[in-house]
Amino acid sequence: MFIHEKMGNSYTPGLKVARRMVIRRERRLPLKGEVLVSSGAKVQSDTAVARTHLPGSVELVNVANPLGVDPKAVRKYLLKKEGDKISQGELIAKNPGLFGLFKSEFFSPISGFVETVSDATGKLTLRKEPVPLEIKAYISGMVEKVIPEQGVVIKTYGAYIQGIFGIGGETWGGIKSAVSAPDKVLDEGNLNESFSGMIVFGGSLVTLKALQKAVRVGVKGIIVGGIEDQDLREFLGYDLGAAVTGSENKGITLVLTEGFGAISMAEKSFQLLKESEGRLGSIHGATQIRAGVIRPEVIIPYSEEGIPENEVENQSKGFDLREGNLVRIIRDPYFGSIAKIVSLPLEPQRIQTEAKVRVAEVMLLDGTRWVLPRANIERIEE
């Protein structure tokens, strides 16, 4: 259930990092089709679970004009009717002309079929052959539920790390570390051919050169604390406007756990990845921050530990901040630092900008105390 919050209160969903949890992912076709696996079946990331055919693209062609006939009369000259199959270059309409003079013909520009004929415009809608589409399981686990003609729900048990931002689509591979500590920079020198096909994790920052080398040696994905926005721009070849990503086709998937700039990866995330080295993990970089938030994720199944029967997926719903909670500071000053809440004053206080906001008094790991807007901290789920 939703938790009621007071105005300006601490609605801080935080990013989910769980050592073990039940994870479900729905794999649904965009259109109705055929489900290829049955309930209870074990699947791997690359198992095809459902397939369909996407309708082919459409061409609208004017037949009346080249035949030199009135649009209303166009049907009379057609050699094909609605629903008929056609091939590219096939004669589909013909005007015999007068006594064989001035005759004109029309050949199909595509292979497919005739969808509609318009008497008002003299145009034909031609549709290309359907395009097959297959969806994969994405994570290894068990088919929990079959949604007839539409897809499946895959259930697994394992480690889960939610990222803050990413690029690139779904991919999977062996988890492998490239740096020794969460505050280390992942540079090109940290990568070689042995990382091919792997999901590589780094520390505080991935450099542009490291990203480029990763693509060259065939790294499938990178999980890292941050990236310089200038480097991301260079890598993508364009400046990112709206935060809607996932369809970039750069040969790699990138998951940032902290943000832009060099920010040490959260200790817990780094340790979780470290202990999962050598296992198979699945990641995606899709991020959508507006309406219907989507964040990138890292899923590392530990299926051999067995999936708890009744455990519901532990979803992050936001919760109150309390004294003693560990929090992450998510804006300057101290961006990226971990702190503990010392007190939560009830009354709003004036901050440096002169805005009156609700604040939290926190203690950094070095023992220093600061007062920060509650909007600028997020609770670390423990």
278: which 2 tokens? 């050598």
Which of 66, 218, 246, 261 is the binder for another protein (CB under 8 A)? 261
Considering only residues 38-57, where is the footprint of another protein by CB under 8 A?
Answer: 55, 57
Spatial distance between the Cα atoms of 301 and 157, rounded to a whole number of angstroms: 6
Which strand (E) or helix (H) includes residue 215?
Answer: helix 208-217
Exposure letters 272-287 (e unless 16+ CB within 10 A, then b) = bbeebeeebbbbbbbb
- Of residues 356 through 375, those in contact with another protein by CB under 8 A are 357, 372-373, 375
Residue 139 CA neighbour count, 13 Å, CB half? 29
Structure tokens belonging to residue 274: 């470290």
Which of 144, 187, 188, 228 touches another protein (CB under 8 A)?
Answer: 228
Site string for another protein, 265-304 (x = CB under 8 A): ----------------------x-xxxxx-----------
CB of 289 to another protein, least distance (A): 5
User: Is there a contact between 226 and 258 (Cβ–Cβ < 8 Å)?
Assistant: yes
H or E stretch covering 65: helix 64-67
Taking CB under 8 A as the rule, does residue 58 contact another protein? yes
> Which positions from 93 through 152 interact with another protein, judged by CB under 8 A?
115-116, 118, 120-121, 123, 125, 127
Q: Is 192 in the site for another protein (CB under 8 A)?
A: no
**C-alpha span between 143 and 190 (Å, rounded):** 38
Q: Does 347 bind another protein (CB under 8 A)?
A: no
Longest pairwise C-alpha distance within the chain: 100
Minimum distance between the CB of residue 350 and another protein, rounded to whole angstroms?
Answer: 9
Q: Could you give the C-alpha distances from 156 to 100, 102, 223, 244, in angstroms and in order? A: 71, 70, 21, 27
Closer residue to another protein (CB): 73 or 293: 293
> Does 79 help bind another protein (rule: CB under 8 A)?
no
How far the first Cα of the chain sits from its last, in Å, is 20
Residues found near another protein in the complex (CB under 8 A): 2, 4-7, 11, 55, 57-60, 71, 115-116, 118, 120-121, 123, 125, 127, 164-165, 228-230, 233, 239-243, 259-261, 287, 289-293, 315, 317-318, 330-333, 335, 351-355, 357, 372-373, 375-376
